[in-house]
Amino acid sequence: MNGEPLLESASVGGRLALSAGGLWTAERAGELERLIERVIARHPRIGGVDIDMARVQRLDTFGAWLLERLLRAIAAAGGEVRVTGLAEPYRALVARAGEVNGAAPASPRRMMLAASLEVVGRTVMQVGRDIGAAVAMIGALAAALGRAAAHPTSFRLTSMVNQIDRVGWRAVPIVLLITFLIGAILAQQGLFHFRQFGAQIYVVDMVGILVLREVGVLMVAVMVAGRSGSAYTAELGSMKMREEIDALRTMGFDPVDVLVLPRVLALVVALPCLTFLGAMAALYGGGLMCWAYGGMSPDVYIARMRDAVSLGDFAIGLVKAPFMGLIIGVIAGTQGLAVTGSTESLGRKTTDSVVKSIFLVILVDGVLAMFFAAVGV
């Protein structure tokens, strides 16, 4: 093969004569390394070595380093080397290669067990830090709210209205669509199974109570966490990466005042509105399904709904909504401000933000459901 790197060895008068040739370049580094290792392995005890580099066509850093590796191996075995015939343009490079890698490079290696224990430990520490950060964020928000109450003019109303537009108004179509479908699916499943024992009418009770108390607010919160919580984290995170947050601080602004509070308040305002709209859409979807699939007239559906659900069911759903908004906002803000320099951390924190807020939303919903059941509402 043309340009193949060569390293021929011969014994001349008690010395080992190596004759190098071909391309000593990056493309051939793999072959060249094997050649050199073979020479080193074949001659463990070398007295004197002459290396003739005259036939080398090209040499780059890879070739220079591999030559240097050979020289060091010979020197380590107690041999003595003469390099001849090195073309003028390559001398500086070979000399430079002689100066590098003084210490043998070692990739850090760790024991498997220790590494896995370390991961567990780090995760536990991280959970602790996350809880601390979320609590600190709630405190910072309360302080910011206090400052805004003391100096109402300093509150960023424009920003908050803009955020309500983003996370509330613009989310209306998708929230309506999804909750409509969820209501219809609930009704369809109920009709299908309740029909077997002639209890179709109770589908209305099920849809009404489930939608108003639980499903409406949960679906909306999960959607908002995915749609707006992630956007908040990514926004705040990239502002952190580009030092915009630091710039704000140096100008005497608290980023929580300027960036986080309007966003969290926007979520607190938007979520009840979206929950209300979502619940209505779900009830409409359920009614439509009862009419089309269950043969129940709209009058019957509405009359039954009036008997089945109380104002309390409706209120419980709505009361939970602002807390869901608060959770999503706090988690999104905390994760966003926790982003460090790398793009990877931005991605990770955005994922964390969505996962954690959905988890917390469901957890809090479950706890509240038990609470309301216990107090008998």
Partner 1 sequence: MSAAANNIDGLGDGAVIRVRDLVVAFGGKAVLDRLSLDVRRGEILGFVGASGAGKSVLMRTIIGLVPKRAGLIEVDGVDLGAASAGARRRIERRWGILFQQGALFSSLTVRQNVQFPIREYLRVSKRLLDEIALAKLEMVGLAPDVADKYPAQLSGGMTKRVALARALALDPDIVFLDEPTSGLDPIGAGEFDDLIRTLQRTLGLTVFMVTHDLDSLHTVCDRIAVLAEGRVIAAGPIAAMLACEHPWVQSYFHGKRSRVDGARAA
Residue whose structure tokens are 């928000």 = 141
Q: Which of 84, 107, 153, 158 binds partner 1 (CB under 8 A)?
A: 107
Site for partner 1 contains 189 (CB under 8 A): no
Number of residues binding to partner 1, judged by CB under 8 A: 29
In angstroms, give the least distance from the CB of 7 to partner 1: 15
27 scored as a contact of partner 1 (CB under 8 A): yes
By the rule CB under 8 A, 66 interacts with partner 1: yes
User: Closest distance between partner 1 and the C-beta of residue 226, in Å?
Assistant: 24
Other beta carbons within 10 Å of 256: 21
Is 97 a binder of partner 1 (CB under 8 A)?
A: yes
The 10 Å Cβ neighbour count of residue 259 is: 24
Q: Does 101 bind partner 1 (CB under 8 A)?
A: yes
Within residues 135-164, the interface with partner 1 by CB under 8 A covers none
Q: Is the Cβ–Cβ distance between 225 and 357 less than 8 Å?
A: yes
For partner 1, which stretch binds (CB under 8 A), given 54-62, 178-186, 191-199, 317-325?
54-62
Comparing C-alpha atoms, which of 237, 223, 264, 261 is closest to residue 349? 237
d(CA 8, CA 35): 9
Q: Rule CB under 8 A: is residue 99 a binding residue for partner 1?
A: yes
Interface residue with partner 1 among 33, 50, 205, 254 (CB under 8 A) is 33
Minimum CB separation of residue 61 from partner 1 in Å reads 5
* Gap between the Cα atoms of 50 and 238, Å rounded: 59
Rama region for 340: left / alpha / beta (φ>0; ψ in -120 to 50; rest) = beta
Tokens linked to 35: 């050649």
Give the DSSP H or E segment for 117.
helix 112-150
| Helix (H) or strand (E) run with residue 49 in it | strand 48-59
Element (H, E) at 323: helix 311-337
Among 57, 123, 340, 351, binds partner 1 (CB under 8 A): 340
In the set 41, 109, 158, 344, which binds partner 1 (CB under 8 A)?
Answer: 344
133 binds partner 1 (CB under 8 A): no
Q: Which stretch binds partner 1 (CB under 8 A): 95-103, 134-142, 290-298, 319-327?
A: 95-103
Which of 13, 341 has the CB closer to partner 1? 341
Site string for partner 1, 276-315 (x = CB under 8 A): ----------------------------------------
Tell me the per-residue interface mask from 108 to 127 with partner 1, x by CB under 8 A, - otherwise: x-------------------
Near partner 1 by CB under 8 A: residue from 10, 54, 87, 100: 100
Would you count residue 29 as binding partner 1 (CB under 8 A)? yes
Asked whether position 61 contacts partner 1 by CB under 8 A, the answer is: yes
The C-alpha atoms of residue 377 and residue 367 are separated, in whole angstroms, by: 14
Output 147 or 348, the one with its CB closest to partner 1: 348
> Across 278-355, where does the E strand assignment appear?
none
Long-range contacts of residues 345-351, Cβ cutoff 8 Å, at least 24 apart: 345/237, 346/234, 346/237, 346/238, 346/241, 349/233, 349/237, 350/230, 350/233, 350/234, 350/237
Confirm if 36 and 6 have CB atoms less than 8 A apart: no
Binding residues vs partner 1 (CB under 8 A): 25-27, 29-30, 33, 60-62, 65-66, 69, 89, 92-93, 96-97, 99-101, 103, 105, 107-108, 340-344
